[in-house]
Amino acid sequence: MSTGKLPPAADGLQLNFCKTLACRNFGLSDKKFYLLQDTDPSRPSLVCRECGAFPPLLNNHAVMDEYLRLKAQDSGNLAACSTQGCPAHGLPVLTHREHYHAFGYSGERQRYRCKHCQSTFVDKWSNANPKIDVQQKLLGLLFTGYAVREICRKLAINPKTFYDHLDQIAARCRNKLASVDARFLQMATNTPLASSLVPLQPKSDNGVMWLTTGDAEHGYILLQNINYSAAEEKPDHLADVFDASSRLMPDAFHPNGEIHLQKSSDLLTQVNDKYKEVLSRSNVEDPYTRPIRVDYPSKGCLIRPQYTAYAQYLRLKELLESWDSFTLYLPQEPLMRSAMMSIFKERLMAQTCHPIYVEQNAHWVEGSAASNIDIMLLSWWRDRWAFTQEGTAAKAICHLGRETGSEEAWLQDASTQVVYQYQARFHQHFRSLIDEPRRRLRPGGLLPLLDIFRAWNNLCNQNSEGITPAQALGLTRHPYTLAHLLA
């Protein structure tokens, strides 16, 4: 507990500041610019003296923890130097070859030596996959929609073996993706990106959300993570933001008074309803701080979603370092907006980053031209929205950096549809697995499936012209088959 202080910075990372771009306190963390209080929990802890904004406090160390956890999950199994403190520590051979020498073989596997610390290590995934036959059958059945117990019966394996295979397949997929991802970051520098957020298991109410970011035109998915950690345990009490465990959610939800938002067919009403829902949260960045029912997973721990979003955008910042500028389309959700505005504050001030809210109704046809544009300032934040309507079709955009002048083009081009379609396809393909009664409270088993699905989507999944997202971006020449993923 602490009065009148900001949570301390972590490794130079301080995310507590005014997030109103037009305010002169934007991005500044000197506490003299703010009113700070922690005696009345019903009032904001931090209020900007200049513009009155009340950004929720964040534990910077916890953001860092979540970022490192995410990074380890994505690249933990890739061959890399493992010497603590070595300049090449954790840099995969696949994408950072300049740090390593090939150093003979260990059996059939390639051995490498680190140029800095001379340590040697083996690339576990460099040999031919000895289990390719059974794993290819397993994947084929999984993608055809069979339940786990049916697959086990057909292949005469037990569930433990099934999940072991799944983990190994996921590791191979991450390995395959690492080099194509590196090419994406070198070659797709003008591609607009999009983020999307949906429940991982739509029928479960288990509190696990799934955040993805990828290319907005062809649907090449770059980053995805869920606000769930299988390896940690849920805390038994609500921790305040100064506590190191503040990123972990206890099982303490209040369903009384829960309001189910019906999406209005009128887009302006829908956007306004969303702002009302956001202001009913005690923390505007955390959808779980309003009356809501959550059936807490029976194992592992839920992560506060803002830490998930900040961690993903920290990863994005690191990946996009060499991009001169970028555009990111996102749904109207302050959870992602705040993460975006905080992580990319320098780019926002330099106008080299364009975060744009996009909402549209079911009648909108992708790529339609926008006519009759109405500009409206909405909600407490006075967000500047541009609406267009043609018959029953409606679409709206809002540039979070408050840039103006390109509304017509943004209304036509901005879209989060392909990243949402990616998630919808996952739900469709693996419905029987995702909705298994036992699985609903055990989301951990779906983690390897997410890696496998990202690889399949990016490298194997062909559109009506027979082109995969990786091909459309010029990253690969041919569609991969399941056998390619496993080789």
Please answer whether residues 410 and 384 qualify as being in contact, where contact means their C-beta atoms are separated by less than 8 angstroms.
Answer: no
Contacts of 190 (CB under 8 A, 6+ apart): none
Q: Which is nearer to Zn ion, 120 or 129 (CB)?
A: 120
CB of 310 to Zn ion, least distance (A): 19
Dihedral (Cα; 297, 298, 304, 307), 10-degree rounding: -100
Task: Tell me, by CB under 5 A, how many residues bind Zn ion.
Answer: 15
Half-sphere exposure at residue 183, Cβ-oriented, CA atoms within 13 angstroms: 16
**What x-and-dash track marks residues 49-68 binding Zn ion by CB under 5 A?**
-xx-x---------------
CB of 52 to Zn ion, least distance (A): 7
Map tokens 């949402």 to a residue.
Answer: 420
CB of 29 to Zn ion, least distance (A): 12
Contacts of 74 (CB under 8 A, 6+ apart): 174, 315
Q: Which is nearer to Zn ion, 19 or 247 (CB)?
A: 19
Q: What values do phi and psi take at 6, rounded to 5?
A: -90, 150
**What x-and-dash track marks residues 79-108 binding Zn ion by CB under 5 A?**
--x-x--x-x--------------------
Q: Which is nearer to Zn ion, 51 or 424 (CB)?
A: 51
Contacts of 465 (CB under 8 A, 6+ apart): none
CB of 34 to Zn ion, least distance (A): 9
- Name the residue among 199, 270, 182, 253 with its Cα closest to residue 446: 199
Q: Which is nearer to Zn ion, 117 or 178 (CB)?
A: 117
| 48 in contact with Zn ion (CB under 5 A) | yes
CB of 100 to Zn ion, least distance (A): 9
What are the E-state strand segments in 25-85? 34-36, 46-48
Q: Which is nearer to Zn ion, 101 or 203 (CB)?
A: 101
CB of 5 to Zn ion, least distance (A): 19
**What x-and-dash track marks residues 305-344 binding Zn ion by CB under 5 A?**
----------------------------------------
Q: Which is nearer to Zn ion, 55 or 445 (CB)?
A: 55
CB of 83 to Zn ion, least distance (A): 4
Half-sphere exposure at residue 60, Cβ-oriented, CA atoms within 13 angstroms: 15
Dihedral (Cα; 335, 341, 344, 349), 10-degree rounding: 170
Outline where 292-416 has alpha helix (H). Answer: 305-319, 334-343, 345-349, 407-413
CB of 96 to Zn ion, least distance (A): 11
Number of H helices, E strands in the chain: 14, 16
Footprint of Zn ion on residues 20-39 (CB under 5 A)? 20, 23, 25
Map tokens 């879209």 to a residue.
Answer: 415
CB of 382 to Zn ion, least distance (A): 13
Q: Which is nearer to Zn ion, 32 or 160 (CB)?
A: 32
Q: Which is nearer to Zn ion, 116 or 442 (CB)?
A: 116
**What x-and-dash track marks residues 111-130 binding Zn ion by CB under 5 A?**
---x-xx-------------
| 471 in contact with Zn ion (CB under 5 A) | no
Q: Which is nearer to Zn ion, 48 or 302 (CB)?
A: 48
Dihedral (Cα; 127, 129, 130, 131), 10-degree rounding: 160
Site residues (CB under 5 A) for Zn ion? 18, 20, 23, 25, 48, 50-51, 53, 81, 83, 86, 88, 114, 116-117
